[in-house]
Structure 1
């Protein structure tokens, strides 16, 4: 099962583990959930004046730098390399709108990871709903998703790497560990903030196996 929509494990009642099996049906279901969670942001992009998305925003600055042939302050740094490359592939006249739409989809993906994490920890439906609505309705979250493509990309990639790191540490899933390292590298190449997040994740990794023992113990007592 995918990380964003884990199934209940059959090993113990009430144990919600991440099962690595993946199917096309599951993939389509997860993408449908991503799209549903991203729909308010996509609607906002379609309703907003395009100039609102292209005036004084990180996306606008990024597109302007590409149109100018590079960063006027110096050569491109490793952090931010991926957004720069992606922007060069877009039609420049509509690049800011496309970046906003992709950012909206990434925002839905990020909300999906949060939903899966809360579900996996058996958080009450009311609490899960409140958390999702609080984040989804936050003007800051919408602002980041629609106007700061490098940051929302890094946040989503970091969330993917956290899921993979947890699967590796708690369930000895080496494939997930490799994916976690790859997505963490992509996050670092998307935004400088990911460097700090990567350091925090590295410090917390030795403690994750202890969480596995607590999780199995609580499942066995259910």
Structure 2
């Protein structure tokens, strides 16, 4: 955006309008899309070079499971049972339409990764983060094997995470900045996340829990907090309720076969939850939550401790319910980091900025340590390194 002004000599000159917190970053569309493509390039190289090798290595990844599932779907029917087969429909339909099989899904994930990282950068610029914090947090999210594996080998989950990241920033604009359009957009994005991956229900729960603890702009309006939450969750509740209602009318059961299959094994997952935190993998799972607590203390926002704790409890609940599919890795790390970026206030002084940057650097170490603790990610990294002749 630019404005016309008059200089001392009386000449008309165009000056760039001051940036507002709602401006896109970069403001020029060509530069913005160039940044997105530039951020996607490393993942495109990994997708192009590594997809054939990982496919040949017979790694059981979510993308492979998604393609196997798509191959069994009959596309000559449209009954309630069929709706249950294609759920979540958005990622299932995209996997059907995208050419190239596993490589095609990897390339699509790489392109989404570029857009996702640009939007994360945009959130941080809009919120006034320091340049050092922006660089470190961007590296913490994107420059690690967990993010790359999720983007290239778990298309459904990554699509849901991308919608969640966009929704998280819109929730802040809606609740704290009075931007009503952002509220409706956040609700639609969360619905799309749920229609992309079963983990979308986790994302909706997380933001519904977090929204009441944000600084409220409409303090003069009674019931504003509950109304904000309703706006955010209404599209998802409507979509899921419609599917369950149709299933009940035509089959006499609320849960589809998919829903019943998800609940299978829940007692075993619940029983193993306590033992998880006696292992290094469990400690690393909780590490991003501890980082969020430290950041909340540093920026003097103790309420954020409760938000991150409730969000972590939602992640554990989703795991027990079976909403996190086998072969997933890094979902909780990406979710907690994006949530911290969207919700934790900006550091106000240099010392606090330095301390926040130190915690952000620890996030990089946590991401890499977590990657090497997950067998599927280690196997994937070995296959990719082999593709590059390592």
TM-score by length of 2: 0.45
Identify the residue that residue 107 of structure 2 maps to in structure 1. Answer: 101
Q: What is the rounded CA distance, in whole Å, between the counterparts of 1:137 and 1:19 in structure 2? A: 26
Q: Which runs of 5+ in 1 are unaligned?
A: 2-6, 10-16
Q: What is the rounded CA distance, in whole Å, between the counterparts of 1:206 and 1:122 in structure 2? A: 22
Number of equivalences: 197
**Which stretch of the first structure deviates more once superposed, 50-59 or 185-194?**
50-59
Q: Given that residues 58 and 147 in structure 1 are in contact (C-alpha distance below 8 angstroms), is that contact kept between their aligned partners in structure 2?
A: yes
Identify the residue that residue 31 of structure 2 maps to in structure 1. Answer: 29
* Equivalent residue in structure 1 for 2:62, among 58, 61, 81: 58
Task: Kindly name which structure, 1 or 2, has the bigger radius of gyration based on alpha carbons.
Answer: 2
Q: Given that residues 167 and 176 in structure 1 are in contact (C-alpha distance below 8 angstroms), is that contact kept between their aligned partners in structure 2?
A: yes
- Structure 2 residue 10 is matched with structure 1 residue 8: no
What secondary structure does 2:196 align onto?
A: coil
Identify the residue that residue 98 of structure 2 maps to in structure 1. Answer: 90
Q: Given that residues 176 and 214 in structure 2 are in contact (C-alpha distance below 8 angstroms), is that contact kept between their aligned partners in structure 1?
A: yes
The correspondence of residues 31-180 of structure 1 with structure 2, limited to 5 A, is 31-53=33-55, 55=58, 56-69=60-73, 76=84, 80-91=88-99, 94-180=100-186
- After superposing on structure 2, the runs of 4+ consecutive aligned residues of structure 1 that deviate more than 4 Å are 211-215
What CA RMSD, in Å, does the superposition of the two structures yield over aligned residues? Answer: 3.0
1:69 to partner: Cα distance: 2.3
Q: In structure 2, do the counterparts of structure 1 residues 190 and 85 end up closer, same or farther at CA, with 3 Å as the change threshold?
A: same
TM-score by length of 1: 0.76
Q: Given that residues 51 and 106 in structure 2 are in contact (C-alpha distance below 8 angstroms), is that contact kept between their aligned partners in structure 1?
A: no
Q: In structure 2, do the counterparts of structure 1 residues 197 and 78 end up closer, same or farther at CA, with 3 Å as the change threshold?
A: farther
The one-character-per-residue Cα deviations of 1:97-133 (angstroms, maximum 9, x if unpaired) are 1110110111122212222222233322223212222
- Structure 2 residue 195 is matched with structure 1 residue 193: no
Q: In structure 2, do the counterparts of structure 1 residues 167 and 127 end up closer, same or farther at CA, with 3 Å as the change threshold?
A: closer
**Which stretch of the first structure deviates more once superposed, 33-42 or 78-87?**
78-87
Identify the residue that residue 308 of structure 2 maps to in structure 1. Answer: none
Identify the residue that residue 14 of structure 1 maps to in structure 2. Answer: none
1:61 to partner: Cα distance: 1.2
